């Protein structure tokens, strides 16, 4: 067999067995309908075309990545490719590449993809049973090129034609670092590529109607997974690595309802909650302590939720825990109140930070002592900002220019999180002993509307009394 570009995982097969594989296969004619988001993706490609007239635009989906030896991680396409095709996680074909080729009136969009492993001989006729990485018998059936074309509403050509299609000398912008053929075909152009990445990020800031529905779906599944976790706290308490039980409970729902996780689940009990991205999840879950769960379900379309709740494991906050929780709750409430179209993106963070600063001052906690007041020093206890854009990535639109995102203003269609927190490290001698080891965060997902903001995760209790009632009832 002539190896397909990038293939090197062929299994040796005796000639007699190879001959046996050449016959006796039924014909398949599956019905494939256009993906629900394809029309919206076509609009996004039209705007991309208008932004870069006369230039070739190349956006790879990316390829498989080795986890260990001959096992790969689950494939997840690059977010820009997803946004421009409306592809879904489970049916996406690794190594696909979207090319917008300039024409006299705009661009012609083509996806170059691996076809289904053929059963009828030819140069790739043994791939379906020999190739451990791409063969159908090893990793499952891919769509045919015609099926992919029907699903995406796009022209789809064989991946093997990609290099030739990129040969003509045309001004080209690429998303680099995802595909070696694409990288080799276009010389590096840092400024042009940064401009493309910025546009691709900024085009995701305002969600269209279809994307809003995907966000509702993802957050809804996330809320359901949190409900599952609340009911599993008693079991987690009996296990030496109860955090893993919490993680597994959430992750099961993510795989059941969606494509998987938007990011690795943070199941942080006790002092582990003071580690912002605690993902070892190997500690116990003890009665009287807190469990900080920060997690998100990624829908089939790869849009993700991102929610955090800090739960009293035994059903009741201690006095010290309640003191911290109520301050974080007040800070989040102030941040939520600042969400409206036309407000600066930073306004909700400033509002939350102001409440935290005033609250800590009232407790007598003033980093740096009694000298001149410097509010930035409170970062010792808050560490990070109070929210971020949300969408195909948990921290979405990361390549957007500062004036379009961090220094920009909120618009209807923005989806973002509000998530203030306080983290008193167990060895921090600047805080009273009874507060050390308490980590607290509350996070919800919001859609900016024409007259304010809608909380997409409002089905989860947020106030301390309601959280206690929820955890107690779920036991």
* Mean pLDDT computed over every residue of the chain: 94
Q: Which residues contact 352 (CB under 8 A, 6 or more apart)?
A: 331, 332, 334, 335, 386, 418, 420
Q: 264, 260, 277, 266: which is closest to 218 by C-alpha?
A: 260
Q: What is the pLDDT of residue 13?
A: 86
Span 240-270, pLDDT tens digits: 999 999 999 999 999 999 999 999 999 999 9
Q: What is the pLDDT of residue 374?
A: 74
DSSP tag of 3 = P
Strand order in the sheet with 155-158: 155-158, 107-113, 97-102, 56-60, 172-174
Q: Answer yes or no: is pLDDT of 184 > 60.
A: yes
Q: How does residue 2 score in pLDDT terms, banded at 50, 70 and 90? A: very low
Share of the chain above pLDDT 70, in %: 97
Span 291-304, pLDDT tens digits: 999 999 999 999 99
Q: Which residues contact 40 (CB under 8 A, 6 or more apart)?
A: 86, 208, 209, 210, 211
Q: What is the pLDDT of residue 372?
A: 57
Q: Which of 167-171, 195-199, 208-212, 224-228 has the lowest mean pLDDT?
A: 167-171
């Amino acid at each position: 067999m002539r190896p397909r570009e990038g293939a090197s995982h062929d299994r040796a097969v005796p000639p007699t067995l190879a001959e046996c594989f050449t016959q006796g296969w039924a014909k398949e004619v599956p019905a494939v309908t256009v993906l629900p988001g394809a029309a919206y993706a076509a609009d996004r490609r039209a705007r991309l075309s208008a932004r870069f007239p006369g230039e070739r635009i190349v956006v790879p989906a990316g390829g498989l990545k080795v986890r260990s030896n001959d096992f790969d991680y689950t494939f997840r396409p690059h977010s820009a490719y997803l946004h421009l095709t409306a592809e879904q996680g489970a049916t996406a074909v690794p190594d696909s590449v979207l090319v917008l080729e300039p024409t006299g009136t705009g661009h012609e969009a083509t996806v170059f993809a691996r076809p289904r492993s053929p059963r009828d001989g030819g140069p790739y006729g043994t791939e379906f049973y020999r190739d451990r990485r791409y063969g159908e018998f090893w990793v499952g059936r891919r769509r045919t090129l015609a099926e992919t074309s029907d699903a995406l509403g796009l022209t789809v050509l064989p991946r093997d034609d990609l290099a030739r299609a990129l040969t003509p000398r045309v001004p080209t912008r690429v998303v680099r670092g995802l595909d070696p053929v694409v990288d080799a075909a276009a010389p590096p152009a840092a400024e042009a590529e940064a401009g493309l990445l910025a546009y691709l990020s900024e085009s995701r800031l305002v969600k269209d109607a279809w994307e809003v529905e995907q966000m509702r779906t993802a957050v809804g599944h996330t809320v359901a997974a949190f409900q599952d976790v609340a009911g599993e706290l008693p079991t987690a308490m009996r296990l030496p690595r109860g955090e893993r039980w919490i993680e597994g409970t959430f992750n099961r729902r993510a795989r059941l309802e969606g494509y998987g996780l938007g990011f690795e689940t943070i199941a942080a009990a006790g002092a582990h909650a003071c580690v912002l991205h605690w993902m070892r999840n190997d500690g116990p879950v003890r009665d009287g302590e807190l469990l900080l769960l920060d997690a998100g379900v990624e829908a089939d379309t790869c849009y993700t939720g991102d929610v955090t709740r800090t739960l009293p494991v035994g059903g009741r906050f201690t006095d010290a825990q309640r003191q911290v929780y109520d301050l974080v709750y007040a800070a989040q409430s102030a941040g939520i109140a600042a969400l409206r179209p036309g407000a600066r993106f930073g306004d909700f963070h400033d509002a939350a930070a102001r409440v935290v600063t005033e609250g800590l001052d009232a407790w007598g906690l003033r980093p740096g002592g009694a000298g001149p007041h410097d509010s930035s020093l409170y970062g010792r206890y808050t560490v990070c900002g109070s929210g971020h854009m949300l969408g195909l990535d948990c921290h979405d639109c990361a390549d957007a220019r500062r004036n379009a995102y961090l220094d920009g203003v909120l618009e209807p269609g923005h989806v973002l999180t509000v998530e203030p927190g306080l983290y008193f490290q167990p060895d921090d001698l600047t805080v009273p002993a009874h507060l050390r080891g308490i980590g607290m965060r509350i996070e919800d997902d919001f859609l900016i509307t024409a007259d304010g903001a809608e909380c997409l995760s409002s089905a989860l209790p947020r106030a301390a009394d309601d959280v206690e009632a929820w955890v107690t009832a779920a036991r």
